[in-house]
Amino acid sequence: MKKGVVVILAVAIIGTLGIYGKKQSSTAQVHKTTPRLTAKPATISSSSPTRSDSRYKDGTYTGALAGTVYGPVQISVVISGGKITDVNFLRMPDDLGYTQEVTAFSEPLLEDETLQKQSAQIDFVSGATQTSEGYAQSLQAALDQAA
Amino acid sequence: MRQVRQIMGMPITIDIPKAESSRIFEAVFEVLKQIDTQFSTYRKNSEVCKYARGEIKTPSKSLAKVISECQEAEAYTDGYFSVWYNNKFDPSGYVKGWAIAEAGKLIEKSGYKTYCISAGGDILARSDSDKVWKIGIQDPQDPKQILNMLSISNGAVATSGNYERGNHIYNPKTKKPATDFLSVTVTGPDIIKADILATAVLAAGTQNLDFMKIQKDYQALTIIHRSQGSNR
């Protein structure tokens, strides 16, 4: 199976869709089968903590079709009461081997380059039970050493 | 300051930016070691093992609380989170999140409100400063790669999956390994609940997620291998 950076498809923060990136050769449809995405929970901040949702006027916004690493993506976002209340993926890209299904996940999709830049800033990695045996080779260990 | 210890069979990393000595870290690691002594399923004389063998009539207050919380978790996950499997009692899936929460309580009690704890890939992040914790989500198929990054001031991230060696999650109803998802990451306010939901979503598979859809403050990201095809 093809290897590469696989990016989680997620709800975009409205205003900018947060979707950029270069196209790859494989494009296909991924079916979004989950119900509409809910607004972000208050306890998890976006990467711009000072941004307030209330500057967005109520209404439905459809983003331009944008290229991502995995194909074109278009997102429609509904603003109600100044908050995101509904998000629909109108088209979702396929990927290099994973089908990504989002039941509700509100972080912007990062372009490959941004992801690489930002990954230099990561503090911690969340993954399935990372064991003591695997630790030495892990990304977390590298982060811990660099901290 | 950041320190790591291997406890409970997993790496536990604690980052407290304002800490100036090891003291708080030693205290927290000590609490985690005590939890391990009491709850480890690998220590024959742990309270959990004794309880599982039926040697204890009255569990300690903390074990009783864990048991009752697990019963509640089984209920709100439609049975997909269960610490009773094949008549064996193993609350490890609950204890991990709970241990992180206890560690967090001690850190806050000691006066630090900005910190981040990772235990075996489950994370609790807190900030009352402008510190925003950057949490990467591990690629299920490449531990050195991350798929995306979360920026969290206050919240929990729990990931469950079948891709680490020896870590198999079963669907408690079919008794078969849960293979619909390669990995599940849940975010939300509470680490214990996020951990439970991540485990339950993985175990339940794609067709049985009504219990997750009604969890308003929690979100799940699931990753499926493409070759498994469409399963709606």
Inform me whether the pLDDT recorded for B23 exceeds 70: yes
Between chains, do A129 and B230 touch, taking CB under 8 Å as contact? no
DSSP A123-141: -EEE-S---HHHHTTSHHH
Contact map slice: A 5-24 vs B, CB within 8 A = 5-8, 10
Poorest-pLDDT segment among A59-68, B120-129, B222-231: A59-68
Q: Chain A partners of B136 at a C-beta cutoff of 8 Å?
A: 119, 122, 124-126, 139
Query: At A66, is the pLDDT very low, low, confident or very high (cuts 50, 70, 90)?
Result: very low
Residues of chain A in contact with residue B130, where contact means CB-CB under 8 angstroms, are: 49
| Residue B160 identity | S
Residue A114 at interface with chain B, using a CB cutoff of 8 Å: no
Best A70, A100, A126 residue to mutate vs chain B (most B CBs within 10 Å): A126
- Higher-pLDDT residue of A79 and B99 is B99
User: Can you name the residues that pair with A84 across neighbouring β-strands?
Assistant: A79
Is residue A20 predicted with pLDDT exceeding 70? no
Q: Does B174 touch chain A (CB under 8 A)?
A: no
Q: What is the mean pLDDT of residues B78-99?
A: 91
A&B contacts, CB < 8 Å: 232
Pairing outcome for strands A124-126 and B133-139: parallel
**Residue B175, phi-psi category: left (phi > 0), alpha (psi -120 to 50), beta (remainder):** left
Q: What is the DSSP letter of B160?
A: E
- Per-residue pLDDT at A140: 83
Report CB contact under 8 Å: B164, A134: yes
Residue pLDDT, tens place only, A28-48 = 222 222 222 222 222 232 222
Q: A73 or A37: which carries more pLDDT confidence?
A: A73
The predicted pLDDT at position B131 comes to 87
| pLDDT interval class at B28 (50, 70, 90) | very high
Q: What is the pLDDT of residue A129?
A: 62
- CB-based contact, A27 to chain B, within 8 Å: no
Q: Which two tokens stand for residue B21?
A: 């000595």
The Cα–Cα gap between A109 and A14 comes to 12
Least confident of B50-54, B82-86, B90-94: B82-86
Choice among A22-36, A84-98, A131-145 with the minimum mean pLDDT: A22-36
**pLDDT tens, position by position, A90-126:** 433 343 333 344 333 334 334 444 445 555 578 898 9
Stretch A5-16: mean pLDDT, rounded? Answer: 28
Q: Where are the beta strands (DSSP E) in chain B?
A: 2-7, 10-15, 84-85, 88-89, 115-119, 122-126, 133-139, 142-152, 155-161, 183-188, 219-225
pLDDT higher for A123 or A76? A123
Contacts of residue A3 in chain B, CB cutoff 8 Å? Answer: 141-142
Whether A88 has a pLDDT exceeding 80, the answer reads no
| Contacts A133 to B, Cβ<8 Å | 165
Can you tell me the mean pLDDT for B168-176? 85
The whole-number average pLDDT for the span B5-22 is: 94
